[in-house]
Structure formats: C-alpha cells, structure tokens
Amino acid sequence: MQKVLLIFTGGTIGMKIDPATGGAIPALSGEELLAHDPTLRDLADLEIFEFGQYPGPHMTPPRMWALSELLRRELRRPELAGAVVTHGTDTLEETAYLLDLRHTSNKPVAVVGAMRTITEPGFDGPANLSAAIRTVLAPRACGQGVFVVMNQVIHPASEATKTDSQQLETFQSPVFGPLGHVDVDRVIFGRRLLDRVVIDTPAMEERVDLIQMYAGADSRFIDFARQSGARGIVLEGTGRGNVPPAALAGIQNARDAGLPVVIASRCLHGRVLDTYAYEGSGHDLRLRGVLLAGTMNAAKARIRLMLALGKSTDETELRVLMEAGAY
C-alpha cells in the first residue's frame, strides 16, 4: 500500500449535531472519523495528523500558512505518495489556493470537506474522503498541485468555488470546468492546467483588505483600509471590473500612498478586462495602476496578493505575480 498523509483541520466533516442547541459543533478527531468507515484504510496506508477542529470561518491566514509549512515539510519524505487535508467548506477555497500557490512538490494534495455532519442522513464525509484519497494516488495527479475534491468531482484549487450554502454539488470551477471526476474506483482526468502559478515566498503579508463595490459605493471603506494600516487592497467590482465614480478618490489615495490595489469581479463567470473606458471603468482603473485579477474571484485575489507582497513590493514584479496566468 502507498502511504498518504491525512491531515484533519476540522469543518463539517468532523462535526455532530449538538442536542442542546440543535446545531452542528466540532466533535470528531481524525481517528474517530476513520473509525466511522474502516474501509477507507483499505485504500492506502493512512498516516493521521490532527491539525485541529476548526470550523471554516475559524481558519485564519496564519493557520493556513502553518498548514502549508507542514505540507511542504512532510511531503519531502520519500515514503509519502501525497496528502489529503480535511477542511471546513466556508473557507476551503482560500486555504486550498494558498496551499497551491506555495506547492512546489510533484506530489499531489487534495483538500476535502463535507456538507452534512455525521449525525445527518446522507453524511458525505466518507465518500468525499475516499474520492480524495483515490485522486492523490492516481498517477496523472502528479505535478498538478493542489486539488479540491468534493462530490466525486476534481477541481483545481485555483478555480474551485463554493456556489451553494447547502447542496452537495456546491463546489464548481465556474469558468473552465472541473479537471475530472472519480467514478467508483477509477480516477478520470479530462483536462489539466496549462498555466499553474507558484509564488514560492518565505513570508506573506496578512494586512490585505477586501472591499465589495455596489451601486452607490464610495471611498469610505477604501480610505479606512488605507488609514488603518492595510498593505494592499482587493476590490470586488462589478461586471468586467468596474467601480462607481465615488470610489475613485479612495482608490487614487491608496495608489498615491503606494498601496497595490487589485480589481476582481463579483460575477461568477468571465474575467476582468479594461473593455470600458468611462469614469470608474476597468480602463480608468488600469491607468491608475490598479491590477486586474483576470478570472480570479476576490477571495482568491486577496490570498494571491498576500503571498505576492510577501515576495516583493516592487510594482512591476507585483504586476507579474498577480496577473501571470490570471487570464
């Protein structure tokens, strides 16, 4: 049997319904979860690492970084074929993307969660774990970085997005579609990434704020981010990456102060582009030195800017780090 490192960080996959409150709470260790379905140990020689029992919203950038460091260290061991990480689905895509941006090993990693707890009908944790283990053991998974594996579907960490608050098929790759799927005991890849981005940095800048644009948005939150010590700002703009004119003063103030500003789109599909040239448009923002996030959503753009700023604060290099492979 090949050896797979199984890292448990928490999330719904490790929760039970609390009779006192009627809500789900952290309850299961990795060992207890595997005991629920002993057949998982038939798939690989599983080595368990108990990282924590964190609900998705409790996962912080420092914890993501620590998880990344753990993986980078452990995957150097020649006996490990790959790793599977359990995670709460609310922030799973952010952690998976940070892990992927720092992943330099040829060995695959799959991040997995669940939408139902062990005390609910149709608990999806064991099936998701099985698919994730099978994925990292598949020869074609090597060299493709970090995956998100949910509901038997294999997504690249750079594209996977949670799209529904409760459905099992919540994770999608909205722009380009999934990489493949797991069909019983067979792992089938239909495509592979052509431009996977790696930012191999020894540090990250946590002070990056994300601000949503909307009809009538102005500069207040942008100015507050700058004045309170942000080192970078990501804007979730509309359409192709546009903002209301009233937000421009705050954006310009941030740029004049030397802060990198990135514009993403709140749209689920499509990319940011300087198609329009009116006041507050992507073209206007580009002339002000704002970076375009391409097809990255705002949450992923924030993770990428945090790592990019850990590597360099030079504007030219930041543009390359943020826009390379962003389509």
Catalytic status, residue 12: yes
The whole-angstrom separation of Cα 112 and Cα 133 is 10
The whole-angstrom separation of Cα 69 and Cα 60 is 14
Q: How far is CA 248 from CA 139, 153, 171, 253, 301, in A?
A: 50, 41, 34, 8, 20
Task: Please answer whether residues 218 and 248 qualify as being in contact, where contact means their C-beta atoms are separated by less than 8 angstroms.
Answer: no
| The two three-digit tokens of residue 177, written as one number | 């579609």
Q: Which of 12, 117, 238, 295 is catalytic?
A: 12
Which residue in this structure is represented by tokens 């599909």? 269
Q: Which residues pair with 24 in a beta bridge?
A: 17
> What is the distance of C-alpha 127 from the center of its chain?
21
User: In what helix (H) or strand (E) does residue 299 lie, and over which residues does it extend?
Assistant: helix 298-311
Task: Please answer whether residues 27 and 46 qualify as being in contact, where contact means their C-beta atoms are separated by less than 8 angstroms.
Answer: no
Phi, psi dihedrals of residue 84, rounded to the nearest 5°: -125, 135
The whole-angstrom separation of Cα 321 and Cα 131 is 32
Task: Please answer whether residues 232 and 260 qualify as being in contact, where contact means their C-beta atoms are separated by less than 8 angstroms.
Answer: yes
Q: What is the DSSP string of 208-221?
A: EEEEE--TT--SHH
Q: Which residues pair with 125 in a beta bridge?
A: none
Q: Cα angle vertex 118, ends 112, 124, to 5°? A: 45
> What is the distance of C-alpha 87 from the center of its chain?
11
- Collect all residues with Cβ–Cβ distance below 8 Å to 50 and sequence separation of at least 6: 8, 29, 30, 31
Q: Which residues are the active-site residues?
A: 12
